[in-house]
Amino acid sequence: MLIPRDFNENRFVYDAMMPVFPLIAQQCIDDYQLDQGICLDIGAGSGHLGTEIAKITNMKMYYIDIDPEAMALAKSVVAASNIDNETHFIQADICQGLPLEDNFADFIISRGSMWFWEDKVKGTEEIYRVLKKGGTALVGGGLGRYIPSTMRRRLTAHRRNVGHPEGYRRLTAEELGAVAIQAGISEFKIIEEKPKVKKGGWIEMHKPME
């Protein structure tokens, strides 16, 4: 995820979203029975989502982002969290390839960064490449289903008022499905936010054992 140039003036992502990260993390743990193994937080930005996953699992965490300022911020967030998980930080462009071997990660989360990728199909292909057989990846963006309705309304209104950084464009459910098909993902489903919105949601992809 690219850190907005006016980061100090526009702190929507990093302040208003703080209550959401633990909820999305808990949803991932509940849905995918996460505890051990390797987790990648791609487009990690501030690193808060990956760190919330680390707090309630024993997973080895890899924070990945194209922006060096984001990596510096993620390192400071991790240091302040006092987690004891093994952690790694990688500055890389998902669309140009990750410096990781095939079938590397048990779980991959990428929230919000896909909307900035220059080549969404290539980025999705790369995530699938490094995902282990039997693993799961969740790519896209949203507030998750554990968020209270009052918080969802407040954050949605706040997001409309604040706006988004240059280059940000959410995809519709149909567009997300088309990306997964073009990327050759054999097992996936599209998870739409509820109540349904015109844009946003997730690609949940699984890599078969065979």
> Which structural domain, as residue segments, surrounds residue 193?
12-206
Q: Which residue has the tokens 């979203």?
A: 17
Per-residue confidence of the chain (210 residues) as pLDDT tens digits? Answer: 444 334 343 444 557 778 899 999 999 999 999 999 999 999 999 999 999 999 999 999 999 999 999 999 999 999 999 999 999 999 999 999 999 999 999 999 999 999 999 999 999 999 999 999 999 999 999 888 998 888 888 887 766 665 555 556 889 999 999 999 999 999 999 999 876 666 679 999 999 997
| Tokens linked to 137 | 């990846």
Within a domain: 6 = no
Within a domain: 146 = yes
For residues 145 and 24, what is the distance between their CA atoms, to the nearest angstrom?
8
Within a domain: 3 = no
What is the pTM assigned to this prediction? Answer: 0.89
Provide the domain count of the chain.
1
Within a domain: 21 = yes
Within a domain: 183 = yes
